[in-house]
Amino acid sequence: MTPFLSFLAVQQGAPAPKVDSLFDLMRAGGPLMIPIALCSVAALAFAVERWLRLQPALLGSTKLGQSIAEATRSGGAAAGLAACDPRKRPLERILAAGLERAHMAFADREKVVEDVAQAEVRLLGRNLRPLFLVWLIAPLLGLLGTVWGMIEAFSNIALTSGIGKPEQLARGIYVALTTTAAGLAVAIPTIVFYWLLQGRIERFVATAEGAYREVDRALAEHQQSHAKGRA
C-alpha cells in the first residue's frame, strides 16, 4: 500500500497494513524473479567492466595523437612509430598501421587503417552486447511473470469461489505486477549505461579520425621537406 493510502487508513481509524519488504516482494514475484535477478548481476558486471576499460586514458587521447603527429613531422614514419607506446593503446595501433605503411599509396594506406580501426571499434563494443540483450530480455521476463501471475490470480478466484471478493483479485494483481516492476528496474539503468558507454566509443572514433588525419598531414609534410632537402 502506498504512503497516501496508509495515511487515509490511519485517518479513518483503520490499522495501516504492513508494507511488504523487498525480500517479500521478490519472493512473491515467483520463479521468474530468479532470471531477472541474474540479468541484473550480468548487467552490473559488464557495465563495470566496460566503464573501466573505456577510459580515455586507456583508449588514447587527442594529446597522444598530437604528440605522434609532431614526432612524425620532425622525424618521419620511423619517429612516429617510436613515439607509440610498446603496449599500444587502440589509438596507437590505428596510427601505427598507417605509419608502418607510409611507403604505400594514400588510398591503399587509408584502406588498411580503416580496416584496423573497424576491428578496434568492434573489439571495444563487444562486451556492450550483453547489456543490450539484458535491456531486451528483462522487461519481457517481467511481462511474462505478470501474465502468469494474472492467470494464477483468476484461477484461484475461480477455484475458490472468490467472485465478489475484490481483495483476492487485488492481491493477485499486486503480486503479479511485481515481476514487471523488477524487469523495468533492471532494464532502465542497463540501457542508460549502454548508451553512455556507446557514447565513449563514438567519441573515441572521432578522436581517432582526427588524429589519423593530423598524422597523415604530418607525414606528407615530412616527405615534402625531405624531398626538397634532397633536391
| CA 99/CA 215 separation, integer angstroms | 8
Question: According to the model, what pLDDT value does residue 9 have?
Answer: 47
Contacts of 225 (CB under 8 A, 6+ apart): none
| CA 84/CA 91 separation, integer angstroms | 9
pLDDT digits (tens, 9 = 90+) for 63-120: 999 999 999 998 888 999 998 876 779 999 999 999 998 888 888 889 999 999 999 9
| CA 90/CA 51 separation, integer angstroms | 16
How does DSSP classify residue 100?
Answer: T
For the segment 110-132, the average pLDDT, to the nearest whole number, is 93
For the segment 41-55, the average pLDDT, to the nearest whole number, is 95
| CA 111/CA 104 separation, integer angstroms | 11
User: Model confidence at 174, in pLDDT bands (50, 70, 90)?
Assistant: confident
pLDDT digits (tens, 9 = 90+) for 146-158: 888 888 777 777 7
| 14 pLDDT above the threshold of 60 | no
Burial 139-167 (b: 16+ CB within 10 A, else e): bebbeebbeebbeebeeebeeeebeeeee
**Does residue 222 contact residue 76 with C-beta atoms inside 8 Å?**
yes
For the segment 130-147, the average pLDDT, to the nearest whole number, is 93
